[in-house]
Amino acid sequence: MWEQIRSNRIRSGFVVAGMGVLLVVAGLALGGALGGGDPGALLLGGVAALGIWFVLWLVSIQGGDRVMLRMAGARRIEKRDHPQLWNVVEEMSIASQLGRMPAVYIVEDPSPNAFATGRKTENAAVAVTTGLLRVCERDELQGVVAHELGHIKNRDVALMVTAGVMMGAIVLLAEVGVRALWFGGGRRRSRSSGGGGAEAILMVVAIVLLILAPILSQLIYFSLSRRREYLADASAALFTRYPEGLASALEKISGVAVPLADQSKVTAPMYIVRPPGPDGAMRATSLTATHPPVAERVRILRSMAGQADARAYERAWHQVTGKGGALMGARTLAASGVALAAAPERAPEPHAETRAARARQASDAFLSASGYARIPCPGCGAILKVPSELAGAVTACPRCGTRFRDE
């Protein structure tokens, strides 16, 4: 995966550098307008812009990896909590040659979704909702996990955090700047010796820039986010050699329009599918969409014509989206070698569990990861899940009413 990481990193590096230029230009414009064309003020503006970015960046890397997990209420699981999920993550870690297995978390949420966090491979973590575990067969789960590990392998989390901070700095600068120009510009005007004309032009230029910069940077940010989603889909197809698995999972996920509890445009890019809005509707595509439309992603995966490598995905992507330009770098495509065949249609699992059984297993895993003990009732034999706080207390079985002390 060396070539893929490197060529994508270079391209994304250019994008982020472009945003950085935008940030500095906005800062310069602000400084210039406030200082009435004074080069010292210009410089100060640029330095201030970089300063804002630096501070925001520092804040973002403080425990940033675990913030999202905590926000979603995720619980870390061990292998015994949900062996199938654990095994799937382990299988995909091997297939992606990640080196070490990421931490595995479960989120209690009926909306099927999954996300990955961790700027470095050592801190990597992948989380799935109980909704996803309920809805997906093993092959589909494998596709979803492969997509998330693809994000980790392609260093997307670090990239989106960097771009997000950049965008945040630009937006902040623009808001502050427009206000400063509006109220503070008037005072300075009298000090300048350059005359009204140049001043006014500078102000106009600055205001225009400060309005355009955040818009432009957001467009760049969301376009980058969508591109990385395609790449993660391509990685998933490559790792599993079974694009149909992910395609079918995406279909199922988008068909269940239950709103996700953790709603935010900031965390949305990390999920595999854009979480549905509070009213349950999947919002229409727009330039500010963090994810490409699910239908399109599914079509691309299904147009790969029995191949599973990077070139096949790129071909399918061109065919379905009709976009010009390249999705992946030339090096990635060249390095993908001989066309890799996708695995043939898999035989269905012999003991395919029902949805109810999967749902039960998923919530059991979440409870067990949350420290709940499984106590059999001495009266009727039903298995009770008791939170750790009640250890040693007298509990009553809800089914038969027997009271006993939970040792």
Residues found near other proteins in the complex (CB under 8 A): 2-3, 83-84, 87-88, 90-92, 94-97, 239, 241, 334-335, 337-338, 340, 344-347, 350-351
- The minimum distance between CB 334 and other proteins, in angstroms, equals 8
* Interatomic CA distance for residues 181 and 327, integer angstroms: 40
For other proteins, which is the closer residue by CB, 66 or 241?
Answer: 241
Active site includes 407? no
The runs of H, that is alpha helices, within 291-354 are 294-302, 310-321, 330-335
Asked if 49 contacts 27 with a C-beta cutoff of 8 angstroms, the reply is yes
Asked if 282 contacts 254 with a C-beta cutoff of 8 angstroms, the reply is yes
For other proteins, which is the closer residue by CB, 58 or 94?
Answer: 94
What residues contact 362, with CB distance under 8 A and at least 6 apart? 82, 106, 130, 133, 134
* Interatomic CA distance for residues 383 and 377, integer angstroms: 6
Beta-ladder partners of 107: 74, 129
For other proteins, which is the closer residue by CB, 173 or 308?
Answer: 308
- The minimum distance between CB 149 and other proteins, in angstroms, equals 12
For other proteins, which is the closer residue by CB, 90 or 251?
Answer: 90
- The minimum distance between CB 112 and other proteins, in angstroms, equals 21
* Interatomic CA distance for residues 60 and 254, integer angstroms: 31
- The minimum distance between CB 95 and other proteins, in angstroms, equals 4
For other proteins, which is the closer residue by CB, 239 or 366?
Answer: 239
DSSP string, 90-105: HHHHHHTT-SSPPEEE
For other proteins, which is the closer residue by CB, 291 or 311?
Answer: 311
- The minimum distance between CB 406 and other proteins, in angstroms, equals 23
Asked if 1 contacts 97 with a C-beta cutoff of 8 angstroms, the reply is yes
Sign of CA dihedral 35, 37, 40, 44: positive
Asked if 339 contacts 312 with a C-beta cutoff of 8 angstroms, the reply is yes
Task: From 332, 382, 369, select the one nearest 130 (Cα to Cα).
Answer: 369
Asked if 283 contacts 289 with a C-beta cutoff of 8 angstroms, the reply is yes
- The minimum distance between CB 261 and other proteins, in angstroms, equals 30
Q: How far is CA 260 from CA 225, 254, 264, 268, 271, in A?
A: 20, 12, 10, 10, 11
**Residue 308: Cβ-neighbour burial (10 angstroms; 0-12, 13-18, 19+):** buried
108, 137, 140, 148: which one is catalytic? 148
* Interatomic CA distance for residues 124 and 117, integer angstroms: 6
For other proteins, which is the closer residue by CB, 222 or 239?
Answer: 239
What residues contact 236, with CB distance under 8 A and at least 6 apart? 143, 144, 146, 147, 150, 243, 246
For other proteins, which is the closer residue by CB, 347 or 394?
Answer: 347
- The minimum distance between CB 16 and other proteins, in angstroms, equals 24
Task: From 246, 394, 253, select the one nearest 316 (Cα to Cα).
Answer: 246
- The minimum distance between CB 171 and other proteins, in angstroms, equals 39
Q: Catalytic residue positions?
A: 148
